[in-house]
Structure 1
């Protein structure tokens, strides 16, 4: 939770910095920040979206928060619509970080700053900031939980486990996996897993 608050503060701070640096922002209207989240079916994304809206509103910003129902064309259309409506900053938790390059070029052409939130957006030079967690450490923590629950440090085992590595188009999945394997690989090598 502390990490999420830090990221939300950082995101709000980035938006504030852009707005304060812009000659087009007036005291009564600091502008709108577009927030593009992947889905409402996960409590995590709903919580993050609501927290961002609250943090930005507290700083005097309007927000346009949209959820794309894990549909890539839907998220792309939402982002393009936000750009057309004149947002000053876009915060995007991309469903697929490889599909937004054309939209982000449009954002850059209009002077819109882009923050990739949690999920890296690749294939575009038009991402100004990347706000994320220490995803390697997330994998370490996941593996340590498994290590503790199975009693691996106490020599218990062997156990059969099935590893899931996440989507190949989710950049974070590689970091999660590498973090987890930094803990689990020695047990695999010893035949405990």
Structure 2
């Protein structure tokens, strides 16, 4: 009986010790899972950054790591400001950074400083130079191809000429060149490029200035299509045609599926946009960031690798974009939950929405 009691007591003590050790280990694991993630976005000129990317990243981080926090900074198209924001976040003790660089070259030294501080950096949407640990974006060449193909179709359908104006993105962004290469792979030899402009800051105002210059130089009747790199640029182009007294502008492309652009497509002011799966992009970036902060590899997240001018073999995720015209808004944006019909169709647009087949 005494022997059995001794055995029971020993087993109980061993069990309590094991539970205590497990509890300590659990506390330690939980402590490691309560870290800060820095999110740095480039501007407010493109609505998607504040309206889609930021909330999606924040939501996914909370799902993956409920005790984690997020530090946020918007550079307002100012690389110096973004560098200060990075330094501030590193000083505050963030474990990992998600960076959409305002200037991919200018941020190189800051990314090197982050590496020295043992803070990995996930490049988001744009591939910054320097020791990047992971990269998430949408296939830029395919974005450009979709724009080029849509513009050619629209011009054919209208039965007009082949003269176009190209309103490219900001030359400081490597994505702008990526999109342009995709466009040219489709339209080269099939159109005449009357004018081509770079749009600093991707801004509506700069696009308006450039489009106005093209209209003045070529005349509105000699512009059969406009390759606008994104929706903000498209908005500037449309405003320029209105300022010039042009009632119906030629087909104009876009990118980002901003809700105002979708509404312009319904009214016929803009021909198309390109939807990039923001939620999937944010999901992949947040997943990479949490894995890196936990000291894990990215093999389960990354689907390919990318080389930058400074770094080879960066674990990467390249997502697939979709073209959006008036005929595909419901299938591409409504059924996938990006927008509801009520969000798109304001009272002023109800008739146009019904004509487009968009009804609740």
Q: TM-score, normalised by structure 2?
A: 0.43
SS in 1 for 2:121: strand
- Structure 2 equivalent of residue 30 of structure 1: 34
The structure with more radius of gyration: 2
Q: For residues 150 and 134 of structure 1, do their structure 2 counterparts lie closer, same or farther at Cα, with a shift above 3 Å needed?
A: same
Contact 1:90 1:115 (8 Å CA) reproduced? yes
- Structure 2 equivalent of residue 150 of structure 1: 155
Unaligned runs of at least 5 residues, structure 2:
1-27, 193-223, 226-360
Matches within 5 A, 1:128-167: 128-151=133-156, 156-167=159-170
Q: For residues 138 and 150 of structure 1, do their structure 2 counterparts lie closer, same or farther at Cα, with a shift above 3 Å needed?
A: same
* Structure 1 residue runs of 4 or more that deviate by more than 3 Å after TM superposition: none
Q: What is the distance in 2 between the residues matched to 1:113 and 1:120?
A: 14
Residue 91 (structure 1) aligned to one of 81, 98, 105: 98
- Structure 1 equivalent of residue 58 of structure 2: 53
Residue 118 (structure 2) aligned to one of 111, 123, 128: 111
Aligned pair count reads: 163
Q: What is the distance in 2 between the residues matched to 1:30 and 1:41?
A: 33
1:163 Cα deviation (Å)? 1.2
SS in 2 for 1:163: strand
1:188 Cα deviation (Å)? 2.6
Determine if the alignment matches structure 1 residue 76 to structure 2 residue 83: yes
Q: What is the distance in 1 between the residues matched to 2:176 and 2:146?
A: 14
Q: What is the distance in 2 between the residues matched to 1:30 and 1:136?
A: 38
Q: TM-score, normalised by structure 1?
A: 0.77
Superposed CA RMSD in Å reads: 2.0
- Structure 2 equivalent of residue 10 of structure 1: none
Query: 1:106-162 CA distances to partner (integer Å, 9 max, x unpaired)?
Result: 21112111011111112x2x211111110000001111221222126x9x3423211
Contact 2:155 2:161 (8 Å CA) reproduced? no
- Structure 1 equivalent of residue 241 of structure 2: none
Unaligned runs of at least 5 residues, structure 1:
1-24
- Structure 2 equivalent of residue 101 of structure 1: 108
Contact 1:57 1:63 (8 Å CA) reproduced? no
Q: For residues 164 and 42 of structure 1, do their structure 2 counterparts lie closer, same or farther at Cα, with a shift above 3 Å needed?
A: closer
Determine if the alignment matches structure 1 residue 42 to structure 2 residue 46: yes
1:35 Cα deviation (Å)? 0.3
Q: What is the distance in 2 between the residues matched to 1:32 and 1:188?
A: 50
- Structure 2 equivalent of residue 12 of structure 1: none
- Structure 2 equivalent of residue 62 of structure 1: 69
Q: What is the distance in 1 between the residues matched to 2:116 and 2:29?
A: 21
SS in 1 for 2:76: coil
SS in 2 for 1:34: strand
